[in-house]
Amino acid sequence: MKKTVFFDCSRRNVDFEEADLSLAVFGNCDLLNASFGKSIIEKTDFRSARNYFIDPEMNKIKGARFSWPGVSGLLNKYGISIE
């Protein structure tokens, strides 16, 4: 799924486990309950995506692009509060 562009869509409950999403774009996408595990999301654009939870320790994320406040989805597993 390299370089795939997802735009103005809902990808809820989607299984991206072990997917190669390098250079993909999630433009204005709702990723609620999408599953990312052992995925390659290097240089993937999540800047306008929302509701994602991605564990940086379980995925290859080098060069991925995120924006605030969505970046908090990278810290969810730690159970911390970001205000």
Q: What is this structure's pTM? A: 0.89
> Is the per-residue pLDDT at 32 higher than 80?
yes
What is the residue-averaged pLDDT of the chain?
Answer: 93
Angle, CA 12 vertex, CA 9 and CA 14 arms, to 5°: 105
For residue 69, what pLDDT is reported? 79
Of 42, 23, 44, nearest to 31 (Cα)? 44
CATH topology of domain 1-75: Pectate Lyase C-like (2.160.20)
**What phi and psi, each to the nearest 5 degrees, are found at residue 74?**
-85, -15
User: Is residue 82's pLDDT more than 80?
Assistant: no
81 or 67: which leads in pLDDT? 67
Q: Are 41 and 58 in contact (CB under 8 A)?
A: no
The single residue listed with the structure tokens 């809820």 is 12
